[in-house]
Structure 1
Amino acid sequence: MIIPVRRFAVTCALGTLGVALAACGAPGTPHAARPGHPASASAAPSRPPTLAPGPAGLTPVFKNGPRTPDKTVALTFDADMTADQGARAAAGEHFDNPKLIATLRGFKVPATVFMTGRWADEYPEEARDIGQDPQFEVANHSYSHYAFKDDCYGLPTMPEDKMRADVERAYAAFKKAGVPHAMPYFRFPGGCYDRTALRALSAVGVTAVQWDVVSGDAFATDADAVARQVLEGVRPGSVVVMHCTRSAAPATEKALRTIIPELREQGYRFVKVSELIGRAAGRHR
């Protein structure tokens, strides 16, 4: 999701994230073990938590976790790449940000990465590296990064009858790249959705994820301003939306080096989105 660098009120049209799970992998599939990480293929985790369907069976929407005194916060990162940006990548534009991932690892901060399938096709080794690291969880940000609603920051619009297939194609791309356990969470490109989009994805059987803190990192060059906006917005149970795309969010990695120590100083514990959803659904982990 790419949004302009400005603070704005979170609305249904621009602030909601959706979730979809394709049949390419059951939610309970264990992480694959890999060198340097403690994950074990023999340890089967429980099914990732999701919310019950909304009214009329629509895809349910999650915005933030419980406002409990234990002060948890989830940092989420969009790995954006639109389907038609291959030529730009071939010309040298960087839609990845390995330094940001390394910084999260250095600080031992768990995070949720909302990845487009096109990004996984372009950077399969990085997708696999993130997806096989138990510190992170990979969620779906569509395959094409086309909008699921009209008038969404100039993005091409995905036809209603193609929405579900686009989400499933992203899960197939993750599986092809070697991500063993993509989560049943989906973020709408641009954060734009409506009832039609929620209905189109309802058959996939997943939870939509919202955020309550906009980092303002998209196209930002002032890392201090990004850090300040996050620190001013975070509350217990917050979901922060950021980006891990060098070309579209060049200041994010530097901002994290301020955000993480400051939130820890304030007593916050970093968690993945799945933990917040589990708490909201009554599953304490």
Structure 2
Amino acid sequence: MISRVRGVTLACVLGATLASLTGCGTAQEPPAAHPAPSAPRAAIPPSSSPRPPTLAPGPGGLTPVFRNGPRTHGRTVALTFDADMTAGEGPRAAAGERFDNPRLIAALRALKVPATVFMTGRWAEQYPVQARSIGRDPLFEIANHSYSHYAFTGDCYDLPTLSQDRMRADVERAYTAFRRAGVPEPMPYFRFPGGCYDRLALKTLTSAGVTVVQWDVVSGDAFATDADAVARQVLEGVRPGSVVVMHCTTSAAPVTERAVRTVVPELRRRGFRFVKVSELIGDAAGR
């Protein structure tokens, strides 16, 4: 979700209206998928494929944070889409609220746009067929947006807050949900719910082996009703190596698909090439 970065990095404050996007329900933490491991082990599920590029740990060995690719490696841009669903939103989905956006995914396929989807484990549980389809399509890559979409810091857009001892388990539980949905190769990238994090959260996730992915272009698609305004905001912000944050949630971001249909041809006209986040990280890591 679009939000602010706290403590360690640049702030990205978007306004109080974003709080309602969380639909956070109860402040109770989700049940753990399994007991916390007694010894550190990687949260990333094992794979027979070469490991995707990641960044080296930050200062003090903290989990690394990626915001954009190199500005000098050509006119590349990564569109990212947060597939948000909070652990307490099951009743709303059962009542007919759509946390998915099949039309958006279909548009990306029709336009042949590579993209990275930051998915919550709860979203994958609610829409396993879609999660599997996205995860098996070489046009896309699925990355981790937590299981519960609960905050990893306090005071994060009214999201319920995870305790420190549940943070890593929540990340692991999302990977478990992806595997159960049939996603073969989820990426070792993580986006904090609300984009909110601090030094403690980065330290806690060090042993998970993930690279945190933020952004440098905010689309403003959350609760937007004007697709042209969203498109203008993206087009005004994109630079070579940019990471654009958008949403894959019909109820909370209803005009994203229409905005994408404007953004993609215009950026291509300007000479930009669309890539997944993994390519930008590979460029930054020198791979």
Instruction: Judge same fold: TM > 0.5, yes or no.
Output: yes
The runs of 5 or more residues in structure 1 that have no matched partner are: 5-9, 16-20, 30-43
CA distance in 2, matches of 1:22, 1:134: 25
Contact kept in structure 1, 2:43 and 2:209, CA below 8 Å: no
Give the letter aligned to residue 272 of structure 1.
K
Residue equivalent to 1:274: 278
Contact kept in structure 1, 2:124 and 2:178, CA below 8 Å: yes
Say if 2:45 is the partner of 1:25.
yes
Say if 2:200 is the partner of 1:196.
yes
Say if 2:188 is the partner of 1:184.
yes
Percent identical residues: 75
Q: Select which of 129, 137, 155 maps to 1:133.
A: 137
Residue equivalent to 1:258: 262
Give the letter aligned to residue 48 of structure 1.
P
Contact kept in structure 1, 2:68 and 2:243, CA below 8 Å: yes
CA distance in 2, matches of 1:255, 1:64: 21
Aligned-pair distance for 1:24?
5.8
Residue equivalent to 1:246: 250
CA distance in 1, matches of 2:168, 2:281: 22
Residue equivalent to 1:167: 171
Give the number of aligned pairs.
257
**Deviation sequence 1:138-174 (CA, Å, 0-9, x none):** 0000000001011111101111110000000000000
The runs of 5 or more residues in structure 2 that have no matched partner are: 14-40
TM-score in terms of structure 2 length: 0.86
Contact kept in structure 2, 1:12 and 1:194, CA below 8 Å: no
Q: Select which of 135, 138, 155 maps to 1:151.
A: 155
Aligned-pair distance for 1:208?
1.1
TM-score in terms of structure 1 length: 0.87
Contact kept in structure 2, 1:218 and 1:248, CA below 8 Å: yes
CA distance in 1, matches of 2:236, 2:188: 30
**Deviation sequence 1:206-228 (CA, Å, 0-9, x none):** 21112000000011110000000
Residue equivalent to 1:37: none
Aligned pair in 2 of structure 1 residues 2, 66: CA closer, same or farther (>3 Å)? closer
Aligned-pair distance for 1:14?
4.5
Contact kept in structure 2, 1:24 and 1:172, CA below 8 Å: no
Aligned-pair distance for 1:12?
3.8
After superposition, the CA RMSD in angstroms is: 1.7
Task: Say which SS state the counterpart of residue 85 (structure 1) adopts.
Answer: helix
Contact kept in structure 2, 1:81 and 1:95, CA below 8 Å: yes
